[in-house]
């Protein structure tokens, strides 16, 4: 019996694979800028075929739109949670401003 060296392939659920691709796109944008994101580069970074990336996203614009939607949804949900916890208008302003500044720091403007 011979042992295989290298990474073992893992079959992810479609939702998990889609999130993995979006996570890698976000990482590339944060580290190298928007121009670093290509379908081929994403596929290499994730360790999948370029065709599989296209199974999830029709093109680069579709991928970037999905990433933007995901980030905006996350920010909105976090903002709603902060708003619901606020006990006053002043606290609401502080919490949502803090959230915005944290998002800008963590994910760039």
Question: Over the stretch 19-52, which tens digit does the pLDDT of each residue have?
Answer: 999 999 999 998 898 999 999 999 999 999 999 9
* Helix or strand (DSSP H, E) at 55: helix 50-56
Task: Identify the pLDDT of residue 8.
Answer: 63
pTM score: 0.73
Domain ranges of the chain: 14-107
Residue pair 23/37 in contact by the 8 Å Cβ criterion? no
The dotted CATH code for 14-107 is 1.10.357.10
Residue pair 106/78 in contact by the 8 Å Cβ criterion? no
């Amino acid at each position: 019996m011979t042992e295989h060296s290298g990474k073992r392939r893992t079959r992810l659920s479609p939702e998990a694979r889609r999130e993995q691709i979006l996570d890698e796109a976000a990482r590339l944008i944060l580290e190298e800028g928007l121009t670093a994101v290509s379908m081929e580069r994403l596929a290499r970074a994730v360790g999948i075929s370029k065709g599989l990336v296209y199974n999830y996203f029709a093109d680069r614009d579709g991928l970037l739109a999905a990433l933007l939607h995901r980030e905006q949804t996350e920010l909105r949900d976090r903002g709603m949670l902060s708003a619901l916890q606020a006990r006053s208008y002043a606290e609401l302003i502080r919490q949502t401003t803090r959230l915005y500044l944290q998002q800008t720091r963590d994910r760039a403007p």
